Amino acid sequence: MSKTMTRRGFLRTSAAGAALAAAGVVGYAEWQSGRAHADEGSAASGDVKRVSTLCNGCSNECGLWVNVRDGVIHTLEGNPDNPNSGGRMCGRGHGFAQMTYSADRLTQPMKRMENGEFEPISWDDAYAEISEKLMGIIEKNGPQSFAFIRDPRPNINFYAPRFTAALGSANIYTHGAACNLSLQSAYKHTVGGGFSADVENAKMIMFIGRSYADGITPASMKKLAELSVNGDAKIVIVDPRFNNSGHLADQWVPIRPGTDLAMLLAMSHVLIEEDLYDKSFVNDHVLGFYAFKKEVEQFTPEWASEICGVGADTIATLAREMAQAAPAAVIEPSWRAAFGCAHQNSFMTGRAVAAFNALLGNYGQKGGALITSSPSLGKLPASKFPEPPAAKGTRVGNKEYPLAVPFMGTNLAALKGALDGQIKAMFFYQSNAAKGYANPKVWEEGLGKCELVVDIDVQMSETAMLADYVLPECSYLERMEAVYTLGGKKHTVSLRDKAIDVIHPETRPADQIFRELSAACGVGKYFDFTVDELVEAQLATVGLTVDELREKGIVELPTSDFEYGKVPEFATPSGKIEFYSVTIGRAGLSPVITWQERKARPAEGEFYFVGGKQSVHSHTMTTGIESLMNISKDYHLERLWMNASDAKELGIAEGDTVEISSSEYTDKIDVHVTERLMPGVVFCPTHYGGSSPYLKQGYGFGICIPNFQPFDMEPGTGATMSQEFTVSIKKVGA
């Protein structure tokens, strides 16, 4: 059965949506004219209010102030008291707010019919049909045949695990396998959890693949710009591409993709060989140092240079400079970038980053690597908020991928489960898995084998196109969510709050969807409260009220125990930084940190491939937004980057169209010729190539990178290995 929406079905549902939406403001132009009107009337009589909320344009949860005029969003600003926004707001955040007024939003529940077309369905009918199918599947196959995948956000982090557990399933996942699962798992097993770089106090900071200018947290960007212009620190960017943070750096170190590990091992070799490491710190806080020392004896800068393409002298000098600046020297922990989920050796690369920082003795030190705690809310009263019992089974994938961070798990195991017939029902929340987490054709096959696929989203994403039921959530500016806690040097609580009334009457917030759906599934007793009641109860556990939080937008809790100079606790089995890990050894990987190859290597004439983010987009979820896509189109942001010498050899000029092929896929794309990329490597952003006709702005623009990626999982963690492929390029018409 074809799962693609036909043109006719698409038009019909659009028309239905437009009719329903007539009550509110729908479409960019209508929104703008409404705003212009509000402007004129606002001076004397307009209803102007400022609402504090959290952005939903990525997972930073930046605090915002929303200026609302006559019930319409006017402008947004960063909340200066919020540690992530630092009072600023990035472009995609401004753009993402406009999705609220998009004419392309989902406006009513949809059901895929026998003929593959989507038809509107009432909420009551959708709940009745979904619950009947879901409970039937669970009765027949057991609760472990159900899986839930979400992009973690405050609300869904509360509701999705609760809903999954209430149904007796352990199969709850985040998008992590396609984000930073490898490195988060590496840090967990090496230093006990994630760490941050103390950017503003660093004397030397090295970024590997990570670019604050491309994958933005505004406050971090501001600190890095300040450090670059007014600080006396040395900033080093290790990346095959001179990324958009390159301009702020003192040194660009181009490196072959997926070989950062070789450079890190050689840098460790230099510190140990030349006695430049922090011996007292290592003695007190490292487990397995001698095994590691023995291991890295062979990993000389000359050895690494052959593999990674960075000069041996450069490697040795960087190591020495870091040692000299220590403990105010740090390798930044990164995010998705080069070793979040990219290669077979990403987990090992993360371990080597954590270990190099340990050799510098920088943990807890000013300008070093900071491990901070997170606040926790108290226990909710069980009478109103009873906890469902923990699921009896083990999450699908935990056995094969035991090193994955428990909060994330590997959602690709659920996909494998669907392919194997083990998973029969799958739910998604704000998760365009089928476009970004692994090869889309594999998702289409896996979801095609499921008996029930349900997607909750604000727009008809490519994953929604593969669902049996699509439940439309109202946008983030139209809903309140569960309390958000943020750890760090300070502990804070903040709230995603409702800035405007719901525009489309048939869209509902997630808390309502779960309350109603769980009741239909017979587990309503775990959801018998509104989100307002939940927030009130959550805040009460830390002695706060909703009004207090609304007034300030963010409140600091007195619970942080952070102080500079104090070596943090390492939450590993040994309580030490584990250069040697029994747990990792048991999972079948090398217990000691060592060299591991990347998997795919280019044959003669082929290229390494690197993907990456751009400042104006967030995964694939912003490609329906007109003002952001106009920037992509005006500035040709979809183009494939190629080094000028490679381009010359292939007879390619700026803007020429090439055919790009991997083992899995072939497509066409225009080329950007540049000196900002290592020869032998091509770069392409990972946002484009939309294939949902609902999202008109991004439909057919650029190429979809996961199409090129073989379906595979990193040993130990189950991460997607998003860059384990090579490509051949030829000029179209040549």
Partner 1 sequence: MPRYGMMIDTRRCVGCFACRLACQMKNTLGPAEGFVHFEHLETGTYPNVDAEVVPLQCMHCEDAPCQHVCPTGATFTNEDGVVLVDESKCIGCKYCMVACPYGVRMIEEKSGVVEKCRFCWSDELGGPNSPSCVSTCIANARVFGDLDDPESEVSKAIAANDAKPIAGDLTKASIYYVR
Pairing of strands 196-197, 369-370: antiparallel
- 729: closest CA among 606, 621, 559, 616? 606
**What is the residue whose two structure tokens read 């879901």?**
134
Residue 626 within binding range of partner 1, rule CB under 8 A? yes
Contact 430, 622 (CB under 8 A): no
Bridge partner residues of 471 (DSSP): 456
Q: Which stretch binds partner 1 (CB under 8 A): 12-20, 160-168, 208-216, 355-363?
A: 208-216
Helices 510-520, 154-166: axis angle to 10 degrees equals 10
Alpha-carbon distance of 241 to 643, in angstroms, equals 10
Alpha-carbon distance of 314 to 312, in angstroms, equals 5
Binding-site member from 30, 70, 77, 81 for partner 1 (CB under 8 A): 77
Q: Which is nearer to partner 1, 22 or 43 (CB)?
A: 43
Q: Which stretch binds partner 1 (CB under 8 A): 238-246, 332-340, 546-554, 724-732?
A: 238-246
Q: Which stretch binds partner 1 (CB under 8 A): 14-22, 154-162, 387-395, 638-646?
A: 638-646
Binding-site member from 43, 382, 390, 603 for partner 1 (CB under 8 A): 43
Residue 95 within binding range of partner 1, rule CB under 8 A? yes
Alpha-carbon distance of 526 to 522, in angstroms, equals 10
Residue 78 within binding range of partner 1, rule CB under 8 A? yes
Contact 138, 130 (CB under 8 A): no
Q: Which is nearer to partner 1, 275 or 634 (CB)?
A: 634
Q: Please list every residue from 666 through 705 that binds partner 1, using CB under 8 A.
A: 674-679
What does residue 609 show for φ and ψ, rounded to 5 degrees? -120, 135
Binding-site member from 146, 158, 207, 242 for partner 1 (CB under 8 A): 242
Q: Which stretch binds partner 1 (CB under 8 A): 74-82, 427-435, 461-469, 495-503?
A: 74-82
CB of 103 to partner 1, least distance (A): 12
Contact 466, 447 (CB under 8 A): yes
Binding string, 168-197, against partner 1, x = CB under 8 A?
------------------------------
Cis peptide before 327 (omega within 30 of 0): yes
Q: Which is nearer to partner 1, 564 or 635 (CB)?
A: 635
Alpha-carbon distance of 274 to 215, in angstroms, equals 36
Residue 213 within binding range of partner 1, rule CB under 8 A? yes
Binding-site member from 24, 193, 254, 611 for partner 1 (CB under 8 A): 254
Q: What is the 3-state secondary structure (H, E, C) of 656-686?
A: CEEEEECCCCEEEEEEEEECCECCCEEEEEC
CB of 226 to partner 1, least distance (A): 7
Binding-site member from 94, 269, 416, 504 for partner 1 (CB under 8 A): 94
Contact 31, 596 (CB under 8 A): no
CB of 690 to partner 1, least distance (A): 17
Bridge partner residues of 671 (DSSP): 640
Binding-site member from 39, 139, 420, 533 for partner 1 (CB under 8 A): 39
- Cα distances (Å, whole numbers) of residue 452 to 111, 134, 146: 11, 7, 9
Q: Which is nearer to partner 1, 478 or 626 (CB)?
A: 626
CB of 9 to partner 1, least distance (A): 27
CB of 505 to partner 1, least distance (A): 26
Residues in CB range of 631: below 8 A, 6 or more apart:
91, 616, 637
Give the chain's largest Cα–Cα span. Answer: 76
Alpha-carbon distance of 472 to 150, in angstroms, equals 15
Residue 615 within binding range of partner 1, rule CB under 8 A? yes
Q: Which is nearer to partner 1, 242 or 580 (CB)?
A: 242
Contact 76, 52 (CB under 8 A): no
Cis peptide before 591 (omega within 30 of 0): no
**What is the residue whose two structure tokens read 């070799």?**
269
Q: Which is nearer to partner 1, 229 or 603 (CB)?
A: 229
Contact 413, 401 (CB under 8 A): yes
Which DSSP category does 22 fall into?
T
Binding string, 331-370, against partner 1, x = CB under 8 A?
----------------------------------------
Q: Which stretch binds partner 1 (CB under 8 A): 200-208, 219-227, 359-367, 490-498?
A: 219-227
Binding-site member from 115, 122, 545, 630 for partner 1 (CB under 8 A): 630
Q: Which is nearer to partner 1, 260 or 278 (CB)?
A: 260
Residue 635 within binding range of partner 1, rule CB under 8 A? yes
Contact 608, 680 (CB under 8 A): yes
What does the DSSP assignment read for 608-620? EEEEE--TT--TT
Binding-site member from 218, 364, 472, 718 for partner 1 (CB under 8 A): 218
Half-sphere exposure of 494 (CA within 13 A, CB side): 27
CB of 501 to partner 1, least distance (A): 20
* Residue 513 falls in which region: left (phi positive, over 0), alpha (psi -120 to 50) or beta: alpha
Alpha-carbon distance of 397 to 147, in angstroms, equals 11
Q: Which is nearer to partner 1, 89 or 396 (CB)?
A: 89
Q: Which is nearer to partner 1, 246 or 591 (CB)?
A: 246
Residue 229 within binding range of partner 1, rule CB under 8 A? yes
Q: Which is nearer to partner 1, 247 or 668 (CB)?
A: 247
Alpha-carbon distance of 336 to 134, in angstroms, equals 34
Q: Which is nearer to partner 1, 96 or 570 (CB)?
A: 96
Q: Please list every residue from 11 through 30 that binds partner 1, using CB under 8 A.
A: 28-29
What is the SS3 assignment for 135?
A: helix
Binding-site member from 20, 135, 225, 650 for partner 1 (CB under 8 A): 225
Q: Which is nearer to partner 1, 252 or 443 (CB)?
A: 252
**Residue 536: Cβ within 10 Å count:** 15
CB of 225 to partner 1, least distance (A): 4
Q: Which is nearer to partner 1, 67 or 728 (CB)?
A: 67
Binding-site member from 271, 628, 695, 705 for partner 1 (CB under 8 A): 628
Contact 552, 81 (CB under 8 A): yes
- Footprint of partner 1 on this chain (CB under 8 A)? 28-29, 32-33, 35-36, 39, 43, 74-78, 87-91, 93-95, 97-98, 212-213, 216, 218, 221-222, 225-226, 228-229, 242, 244-248, 252, 254, 615-616, 626-628, 630-631, 634-635, 643-645, 674-679
